[in-house]
């Protein structure tokens, strides 16, 4: 009996990933020479997922929008999503600013700006030079569609997918065979995702072993106050702000976190939300959210709704200023907040995205030297885990909130799934979900994954 329970627990993905994370930390600490060589394990897993993102996003958006009864509904969903993203991101920035002022994690370090090695952050500062608002707008439109797919640029792919879906929608019934073909293609891509997820524990193991081996646990102790403040603040933001959003949506945050626990642990181990984007698309559809809403809101939220990154930006900026004994007036901080409303957007898909956004923020501020980024280089990987997990949960909640706002979620279905009255299974045949509002009924009638009721 006991052995059966242990075997059943070990078969669960989140348990395997958690074991991989713990094993990676131990190996990186006690055998750093070996741990430092295991970085390719984490990189390969993320590359396996990234190779699937472009086709999955393209097919999800096209199938979802093309099957809407009215193309104008896609625009309405998009506007609601943007409104939600701006409100959530602004709240996250304000929360980080308040916590940074109250706890002052950088005070007492007394760093001399003149003695900082600027060369160590040159890569990030150069990337930040191309992080302006107009650069962001220009990057939305790809030089070529093939180039966007080849490089995995999320926003250009979403733009092309929406335009293509609108064009197919105008063709009406003539485009139905192509849409059906894309839907079958999407099923095949999710089948590949299921195969790739078998190596998630190995990826988490390699990523954590490398991180601890390279930076050491001692680095955590040196920056303990900042790390603790970011993790606690992120947890409070999830529990309070996102908890309120879920309550307003009529669902339980805690049950939702339990529902996506596999994705949370994979994100924690790999420090990448992209690693679980395909899985999140499937799970949110199984939860009862309409396919068009999931296809539009979730991928777009990866760029526009980075709650964890927003908290990190304000706290990290204040940390650097406090470490260098730079006083920021209330007006300086208001300016900082305004700049971050822009720099916190559009960094998804860039290596060290949060760091690049922080570099772009500091480059726009006359009071805080960009060279201060050096102070965070050693712990950014640990900070990245907190912001990645927060971003993941925030975008899942955002999708549910917009679906509820649009009346495009089957609440009976959602509650049954979260209460474990419905057994979610990738390999079962799809059955018809419960009815949804007429304006999205056609879109909801087809899901990209199966489930069974017990």
C-alpha count within 13 angstroms, C-beta hemisphere, residue 343 = 32
Q: Smallest Cα–Cα separation from 109: which of 216, 229, 228, 226?
A: 226
Instruction: Enter the tokens of residue 354.
Output: 């949060």
Is residue 3 in some structural domain? Answer: no
pLDDT per residue as tens digits for the range 267-314: 888 888 888 888 999 999 999 998 888 988 888 888 788 898 889 989
Q: What is the pLDDT of residue 116?
A: 60
Q: How confident is the model at residue 451 (pLDDT cuts 50, 70, 90)?
A: very low
User: What's the chain's average pLDDT?
Assistant: 79
| Three-class SS state of 72 | helix
4 part of a folded domain? no
Among 61-70, 144-153, 272-281, the minimum mean pLDDT is found in: 61-70
Count of helices and strands (H, E) across the chain: 25, 2
442, pLDDT greater than 50: no
Write down the pLDDT at residue 409: 92
Q: Using CA atoms, how far apart are residues 393 and 233, in angstroms rounded to an integer?
A: 14
**Closest by Cα among 140, 176, 179, 180 to 160:** 140
User: Domain of 248: which CATH number?
Assistant: 1.10.3860.10
Give the CA angle between residues 371, 338, 249 to the nearest 5°: 120
Task: Quote the percentage of the chain above a pLDDT of 90.
Answer: 21
- pLDDT score recorded for residue 353: 65
- Quick check: is 105 in a domain? yes
Tens digits of residue pLDDT in 209-262? 887 887 777 666 667 888 899 999 999 999 999 999 999 999 999 999 999 999
Answer whether residue 258 is part of any domain: yes
pLDDT in tens, 15-30: 888 898 889 889 988 8
Cα dihedral 154, 157, 158, 164, rounded to 10, equals -170
Is residue 453 helix, strand or coil?
strand
Query: What global pTM score does this model have?
Result: 0.77
**Can you tell me whether residue 73 is helix, strand or coil?**
helix
More confident of the two residues 303 and 81: 81
Question: φ, ψ for residue 453 (rounded to 5)?
Answer: -100, 135
- Distance between CA atoms of residues 149 and 196, nearest Å: 20
pLDDT exceeds cutoff 50 at 446: no
Is-contact 275 197, C-beta < 8 A? no
Q: How many domains does the chain have?
A: 1
Residue 262 lies in a domain: yes
pLDDT digits (tens, 9 = 90+) for 341-400: 776 765 544 445 677 777 777 776 777 877 777 778 767 778 888 888 999 999 999 999
- The pLDDT of residue 258 is 94
| Domain residue limits at 174 | 14-453
CA dist., res. 368 & res. 321, Å (int): 6
42 part of a folded domain: yes
117: left (phi over 0), alpha (psi -120 to 50) or beta: beta
Residue 431 confidence class, pLDDT cut points 50, 70, 90: very low
The DSSP line for 372-441 is GGHHHHTTHHHHHHHHHHHHHHHHHHHHHHHHHHHT-B-HHHHHHHHTT-EEE-TTSPP-PPPP--GGGH
Confidence of residue 428 (pLDDT cuts 50, 70, 90): very low
- Is a pLDDT exceeding 50 seen at residue 426? no
Residue 1: inside a domain, yes or no? no
pLDDT for 104 beyond 60: yes
Is it the case that residue 115 has pLDDT exceeding 70?
Answer: no
Q: Is residue 9 part of a domain?
A: no
């Amino acid at each position: 009996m006991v052995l059966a329970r242990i075997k059943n627990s070990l078969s669960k993905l989140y348990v395997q990933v958690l074991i991989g994370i713990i094993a990676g930390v131990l190996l990186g600490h006690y055998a750093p020479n070996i741990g430092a060589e295991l970085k390719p394990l984490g990189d390969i897993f993320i590359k396996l997922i990234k190779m699937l993102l472009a086709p999955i996003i393209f097919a999800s958006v096209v199938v979802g929008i093309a099957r809407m009864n009215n193309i104008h509904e896609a625009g309405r969903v998009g506007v609601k999503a943007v409104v939600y993203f701006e409100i959530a991101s602004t709240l996250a920035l304000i929360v980080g600013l308040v916590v940074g002022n109250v706890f002052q994690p950088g005070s007492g370090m007394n760093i001399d700006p003149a003695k900082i090695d600027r060369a160590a952050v040159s890569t990030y500062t150069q990337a930040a030079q191309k992080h302006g608002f107009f650069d962001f707008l220009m990057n939305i439109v790809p030089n070529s569609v093939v180039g966007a797919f080849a490089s995995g640029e999320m926003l250009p792919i979403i733009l092309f997918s929406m335009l293509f879906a609108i064009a197919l929608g105008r063709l009406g019934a003539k485009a139905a065979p192509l849409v059906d073909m894309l839907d079958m293609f999407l099923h095949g891509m999710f089948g590949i995702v299921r195969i790739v997820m078998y190596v998630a524990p190995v990826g988490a193991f390699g990523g954590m072993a490398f991180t601890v081996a390279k930076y050491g646990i001692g680095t955590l102790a040196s920056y303990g106050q900042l790390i603790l403040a970011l993790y606690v603040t992120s947890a409070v933001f999830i529990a309070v702000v996102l908890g309120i959003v879920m309550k307003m949506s009529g669902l339980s945050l805690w049950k939702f976190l339990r529902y996506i626990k596999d994705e949370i642990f994979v994100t924690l181990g790999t420090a990448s939300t992209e690693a679980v984007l395909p899985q999140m698309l499937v799970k949110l559809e199984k939860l009862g959210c309409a396919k068009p809403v999931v296809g539009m809101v979730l991928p777009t939220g990866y760029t526009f709704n980075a709650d964890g990154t927003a908290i990190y930006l304000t706290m990290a900026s204040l940390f650097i200023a406090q470490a260098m004994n730079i006083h920021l007036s209330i007006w300086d901080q208001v300016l900082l907040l305004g700049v971050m409303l822009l720099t916190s957007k559009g960094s998804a898909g860039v290596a060290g995205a949060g760091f690049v956004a922080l570099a772009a923020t500091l480059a726009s501020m006359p009071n805080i030297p960009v060279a201060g980024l050096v102070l965070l280089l050693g712990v950014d990987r640990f900070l990245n885990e907190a912001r990645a997990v927060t971003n993941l949960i925030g975008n899942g909640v955002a999708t549910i909130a917009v679906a509820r706002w649009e009346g495009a979620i089957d609440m009976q279905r959602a509650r049954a799934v979260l209460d474990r009255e419905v057994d979610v299974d990738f390999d079962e045949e799809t059955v018809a979900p419960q009815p949804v509002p007429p304006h999205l009924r056609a879109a909801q009638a087809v899901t990209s994954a199966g489930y069974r009721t017990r």
